[in-house]
């Protein structure tokens, strides 16, 4: 648990913030190179992303009792899936876990 807290603290120390005119409403960290100092190649990153999938937990309540549904969503469908839950009428997103391919990018 302390390791997670350290990551959050490090993120806050390193992050920038966007202004009202900026496209970034939330704190962020910009990376231009990997841990080895190599510049990113967009096509490799997109290929890697397409191999990932997400387990998304949705809270749904039928009026009697709440239930959790877990969906396995490929990257290609991620944003379409999330858009289905924007209003909260179909359920509420509780958690999103990313699963990555075993080979490095």
48 and 2 housed in the same domain:
no
57 and 14 housed in the same domain:
no
Residue 70 token pair: 């877990």
In a domain, 19, yes or no: yes
80 and 55 housed in the same domain:
yes
23 and 64 housed in the same domain:
no
3 CB-near residues (< 8 Å, 6+ apart): none
Residue 100 token pair: 């990555």
Domain count of the fold of the chain: 2
Tell me the pLDDT tens digit for each residue of 54-97: 999 999 988 889 999 999 999 999 999 999 999 888 899 999 99
Beta strands 53-61 and 92-99 are antiparallel
Looking at residue 1, its pLDDT comes to: 45
Average pLDDT across the chain, whole number: 81
| Selection from 44, 39, 36, 84 nearest residue 60 by Cα | 84
Looking at residue 31, its pLDDT comes to: 84
Tell me the pLDDT tens digit for each residue of 7-39: 555 655 655 554 444 566 777 778 888 888 899
φ, ψ dihedrals at 67, nearest 5°? -140, 150
Query: What is the span of the domain harbouring residue 78?
Result: 43-105
């Amino acid at each position: 648990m302390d390791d997670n807290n350290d990551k959050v603290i490090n993120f806050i120390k390193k992050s920038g913030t966007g202004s009202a005119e900026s496209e970034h409403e939330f704190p962020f960290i910009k990376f231009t190179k990997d841990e080895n100092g190599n510049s990113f190649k967009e096509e490799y990153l997109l290929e890697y992303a397409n191999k990932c999938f997400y387990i998304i937990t949705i809270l749904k309540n039928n009026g009697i009792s709440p239930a959790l549904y877990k969906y396995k969503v490929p990257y290609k469908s991620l944003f379409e899936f999330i858009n289905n839950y924007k209003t909260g009428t179909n359920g509420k997103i509780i958690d999103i876990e990313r699963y990555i391919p075993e080979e490095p990018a």
